[in-house]
Amino acid sequence: MLHIGCHLSAAKGFFAMGKTALSIGADTFQFFTRNPRGSRAKALDPTDAQKLNELASEHSFAVLLAHAPYTINPCSANADTRAFALETMQDDLARLEATPNNLYNFHPGSHVGQGVETGIQQIAETLNHILQPAQTTTVLLETMAGKGSEVGSQFEELREILDRVSLEAHMGICLDTCHVFDAGYDIVNDLDGVLTAFDRVIGLNRLKAIHINDSIFGLSSHKDRHAKIGEGKIGLDAFTRIINHPALRHLPFYLETPNELPGYRAEIALLRSLYREI
C-alpha cells in the first residue's frame, strides 16, 4: 500500500488533522509545529494528542511528519538567531513526545556568507545540543534547492552534518523531489543514478520520508517553486517511477503542492492509482 498524505493546517489541533487526513484518502500527514512565520507555539493539549495517537493506530497510519518553522536558521551568522533556532527545535522535540515515534523535519539553514563548512559545523552543534538519547522522534534534514546560501542541496553536505552528530541513530533525511531536481539531481532521466549517489554518500537506510512535489522550474534552477503533481517539469511518468521504485516504495510520501483539500484528495487518488501492489 502507498503511504501518502499532505501538508495540513494545525489550526484545529491534532485529532482534527487525523480526521481530515482520513477524509481525503491519506494515511499520514505533515503539519507545522507552530506558525511557520511566528515563534510562539500553541499550548499543547495532551488529550487532543492522545486522541490522534489512538486514531492513527486504529487506522494504521504511517509515521507523521512534523515540520519546523521554515524561518528558523541554525546556521545564521547572528548568534541570537542561532540560539532562537536551537530553543525552538528543543521545545518542538519536547512537545513531540506527546505524539511519539514520529518524524521531525527541518531546513538545515542558510550560511549567509559564513561559508558552507561553518554552516555545517553550526547545524551539527545545534543537533548535538538538542538530541536526547531517550527521544522517540527521528529528526530529518530536508534536501534543499540551493536557493541563496542554503546548506543541504548536495548530498555530501548532508552527510557532513550527519558525520558530526553524535546521536546519528536519531537522524534521517527527508528527500524533497522538487528541491533535489532544483539542486541538479536528475530524478526524471536518471532516478537510479540519483538514488545510487544518495546511497553511496548518505546511505538509503537514512532516507525516512519523501516530500512529493512537482517543480515549476527545470533541473538545476535553484528556485524552489512547487507545482501540482504532473503539472511541472518533473511530470507524471517520473512520479510513477518514484512511488514504485524498490528503494522508495515503502517510504511515506507527503504532498506540499499548491492545493486546497479537494486538490490534495485528487492527487492522493491519482498517485494511489499509479502505485503497483506487489
| Under rule CB under 5 A, residue 214 binds Zn ion | no
| Under rule CB under 5 A, residue 7 binds Fe ion | no
Work out what residue 224 binds among Zn ion, Fe ion, none; the CB cut-off runs from 5 to 8 Å by kind: Zn ion
| Under rule CB under 5 A, residue 176 binds Fe ion | yes
| Under rule CB under 5 A, residue 182 binds Zn ion | no
Q: Which is nearer to Zn ion, 72 or 131 (CB)?
A: 72
As measured in angstroms, the least distance from the Cβ of 113 to Zn ion is 22
Other CB atoms within 10 Å distance of the CB of residue 228: 17
| Under rule CB under 5 A, residue 211 binds Fe ion | yes
Q: Which is nearer to Zn ion, 48 or 224 (CB)?
A: 224
| Under rule CB under 5 A, residue 224 binds Zn ion | yes
Considering only the stretches 105-113, 156-164, 219-227, 235-243, report the one whose residues sit in contact with Zn ion under the rule CB under 5 A.
219-227
| Under rule CB under 5 A, residue 150 binds Zn ion | no
The count of residues interacting with Fe ion (CB under 5 A) is 3
Considering only the stretches 14-22, 109-117, 149-157, 176-184, report the one whose residues sit in contact with Fe ion under the rule CB under 5 A.
176-184
Work out what residue 214 binds among Fe ion, Zn ion, none; the CB cut-off runs from 5 to 8 Å by kind: none
Q: Which is nearer to Fe ion, 15 or 108 (CB)?
A: 108
Q: What is the DSSP string of the chain?
A: --EEEEE---TT-HHHHHHHHHHTT-SEEEEESS-SS--PPPPP-HHHHHHHHHHHHHTTPPPPEEE--TT--TT-SSHHHHHHHHHHHHHHHHHHTTS-S-EEEE---B-TTS-HHHHHHHHHHHHHHH--TT--PEEEEEP----TTBS-SSHHHHHHHHHH-TTGGGEEEEEEHHHHHHTT--TTT-HHHHHHHHHHHT-GGGEEEEEE-EESS-TT-----EE-TTSSSS-HHHHHHHHH-TTTTTSEEEE-SS--HHHHHHHHHHHHHH----
Site for Fe ion in 128-157 (CB under 5 A): 142
Q: Which is nearer to Zn ion, 95 or 107 (CB)?
A: 107
Q: Which is nearer to Fe ion, 20 or 213 (CB)?
A: 213
Cβ pair 72, 37 in contact under 8 A: no
Joined together, the cell numbers standing for residue 182 give: 532544483
Q: Which is nearer to Fe ion, 15 or 181 (CB)?
A: 181
Q: Which residues contribute to the site for Fe ion (CB under 5 A)?
A: 142, 176, 211
For Zn ion, the binding residues (CB under 5 A) are 224
